[in-house]
Structure 1
Amino acid sequence: MASRAAILTAPGNPFVVDTVEVAPPRPGEVLVEIAASGLCHTDLTAIEGSNASCVYPAILGHEGAGRVVEVGPEVRGLAVGDHVIPLYGPECGACRMCLSRRTNLCWSIKPTRDRGVMPDGTSRFRWRGEVAHHFMGTSTFSRYTVVPEIALAKIRQDAPLDRVCLLGCGVTTGVGAALDDVREGDTVVIFGLGGIGVNIVQGARIAGAGRIIGVDLHASKELLARRFGLTDFIDASREPGRVTEQVRALGGGGVDVAFECTGHTGVMRQALDVCQVGWGTCVLLGVEPAGAEMAVPPVAVRYGRTLKGSYFGGVKGRSGLGRFVDLYMDGKLELDPLITHRLDLADIDEGFRRMQDGSALRSVIHFE
């Protein structure tokens, strides 16, 4: 099948928007027609060359939504016409991780996914007679893509695909992390009010937080964050040496939960330090540079603080993503204000330039 797609040939190169050939789905696989796909910072890491799991040439994209157009043999839970969101984190339901019920991680296909191929070790994409690689197991920058059934969340059909596509990554990561750890009446702080941070804000609001503090270097982030539920804003560019003191003061000595979304190890340590001794929880979501380490004295956690990480907001994609679609459809979760630009696939490079210069919060590519 011919498909319009954006191909990244090497780090630093512009995308090539061209026609690729998509092979039919094999056992356990599904052919999906993508309706829309968000541009995410993780795609940018592949463009910049810092994503070790990207094999070039690659078809990027992992924040999409679409319809099932064909199912391969042994597919049991999906049918032609179903609406789905591809998942970079699958849920096989049979591995040790899935059966543990202690994590949303499932690494059943991680070895092949990180080599840019399907679970059988081959690609379903060909471009100009050569192999083009999958990215994060999803490749939503192609109108048609093949995804393992275990990496597709079936969703209700009345949800607008050009909006709920955002649930494939950033929104669910932020909202899910907040719903995991925030209790009613809590004081929370979010370091970094980008795509994930603002969604932690609205997740904390949904969870019933009493005070939601945001910390960012850019004062322009405050307005949208307040729309989502932010109660206090600290401009870290003004007095960077007083941020810890200011957060502690707003939290009455320490916050109940701190979320770190910048990926800077110094900010990670700062987020831990502002947590209340005895029960405060620090949640790391920002992706650090390769080889980075964070120094933590044992006493920082020995007196009851918790330091943890969060992957996709702790949400099991196949069994848990429908809840977030319902929250949106019920008017409790906002997606529309996050979309600052709607683009054709031909404008994808411009979309990533806007991400880099901060003029876009979320851009969405439309295939229809």
Structure 2
Amino acid sequence: MSLPSSSSSKQAGAGVITCKAAVAWAAGEALVIEEVQVSPPQPMEIRIKVVCTSLCRSDITAWLSQAPMFPRIFGHEASGIVESVGQGVTEFEEGDHVLTLFTGECKRCRHCTSGKSNICQVLGLERQGLMHSDHKTRFSIKGKSVYHYCAVSSFSEYTVVHSGCAVKISSSAPLEKICLLSCGVAAGLGAAWKVANVSEGSTVVIFGLGTVGLSVVQGAKLRGASQIIGVDTNPEKNEKAKAFGVTDLLNPNDYNEPIAQVIKRMTDGGADFAFECIGDTGMITTALQSCCDGWGLTVTLGVPKVKPEITAHYGLLLTGRTLTGSLLGGWKPKSDLPSLVNMYLNQEIKIDEYITHNMAFEDINEAFELMREGKCLRCVIHM
């Protein structure tokens, strides 16, 4: 694939690039397509021509937040082509196809070398809206700084990321599909495979049947789970859920008793594994209650919109249940994601089926509304 053309006022690789970006000026306000200036990559950074980016629920959550980091360019689930590299970068060159990484991997810190964690101490979650290296921004509009998001900011025709926050992938992988592996699909598959290690013949319950939840479903089915229970209040998701492998669908609104009691009856005392994929901390208690005594494991993946604190009766843990969290499914992003890309190319995992809408960059606000209204899984935005 040749490097896509841009609307830049200067040639690629020739310093500052002026291009289009969807800028959020305030919490919850419609994004505005603006001309932004994108600085050249600094040492150990790369500048990427974003080809496709998909909208993730956490983009919506952050966009609605009142955190004082505006103006801001959201987006983190993306694929693109390296346009230029900064000083010291040896693993990338112009023209490489890449996935962006909202949590990086330096491969040198205690966590990266431990084999026990994917939470890089150097390039982990960036919450200040600035670059890891110098705590500055690479975006501006008429001299006014624009904040980054999750060290990626893919709602821009060009973006700059640390070289540890991108991973080179096969040029044969379709960029308009594979972008989903930079967050949602990888997160769900990893939660089932790496974090929970779902076993053959086990019972699994998933709360929330969005892209992440359905990726857990896919992972559990491929591991040979005998019963996969999907819990969601939106009946429009039922057909998709069954196609991915859900064996039993539950809508809490259809019952006059706690849904955990329904699940315990269905599973002879509780599921082996429960996954909270909604971003509702109250639902974590329900997930724990839905697990069996002794070995029941609850994995939480969702990003809470409100009330981030978790409360649960100590008895749920005293009887042998376990609660754990999962970030990007436990994958070490640079080390592990290329193998998922290869699995997709070998038709061992599904990705295409999560894409419900393909949209032009100019229609990005429509994508936001579709996700807010629960009318899509993934909207892929073509830059």
TM-score (norm 2): 0.91
Whether 1:117 aligns to 2:133 is no
The one-letter code of the counterpart of 1:219 is P
CA contact (8 A) 1:59 1:132 kept: yes
**Any gaps of 5 or more consecutive residues in structure 1?**
none
Q: Quick one: distance in 2 between partners of 1:49 and 1:278?
A: 39
Match of 2:89 among 59, 62, 75: 75
1:106 Cα deviation from its structure 2 partner = 1.3
**Any gaps of 5 or more consecutive residues in structure 2?**
1-16
The one-letter code of the counterpart of 2:41 is P
- 1:366 maps to which residue? 382
The one-letter code of the counterpart of 1:161 is L
Whether 1:47 aligns to 2:60 is no
Q: Once the two structures are aligned, what percentage of the paired residues are identical?
A: 40
RMSD between aligned residues: 1.5
Cα deviation code 1:3-62 (max 9, x no counterpart): 221111111221111221111111000011111000111111232125x4x721111110
CA contact (8 A) 1:218 1:237 kept: no
Whether 1:161 aligns to 2:175 is yes
Taking the TM superposition and a 5 Å limit, the aligned residue runs for 1:1-368 are: 1-50=17-66, 52=67, 55-110=69-124, 113-118=126-131, 119-180=133-194, 181=196, 182-239=198-255, 241-367=257-383
Aligned length: 364
The one-letter code of the counterpart of 2:173 is A
- Structure 1 segments of 4 or more deviating over 4 A? none
Q: Quick one: distance in 1 between partners of 2:256 and 2:90?
A: 54
The one-letter code of the counterpart of 1:245 is Q
Cα deviation code 1:230-254 (max 9, x no counterpart): 1111111111524212211222221
The one-letter code of the counterpart of 1:128 is K
The one-letter code of the counterpart of 1:78 is F
TM-score (norm 1): 0.95
Cα deviation code 1:87-119 (max 9, x no counterpart): 0110011122212221111131458x3221112
Q: Quick one: distance in 1 between partners of 2:319 and 2:219?
A: 28
Cα deviation code 1:300-353 (max 9, x no counterpart): 112322111111111111001112112211212111121111111111111101
Q: Quick one: distance in 2 between partners of 1:80 and 1:266?
A: 47
CA contact (8 A) 1:6 1:16 kept: yes
1:127 Cα deviation from its structure 2 partner = 1.2
Cα deviation code 1:161-201 (max 9, x no counterpart): 01110111111111110112211111100011112111111
The one-letter code of the counterpart of 2:165 is A
CA contact (8 A) 2:281 2:307 kept: no
Q: Quick one: distance in 1 between partners of 2:128 and 2:256?
A: 41
1:83 Cα deviation from its structure 2 partner = 0.9
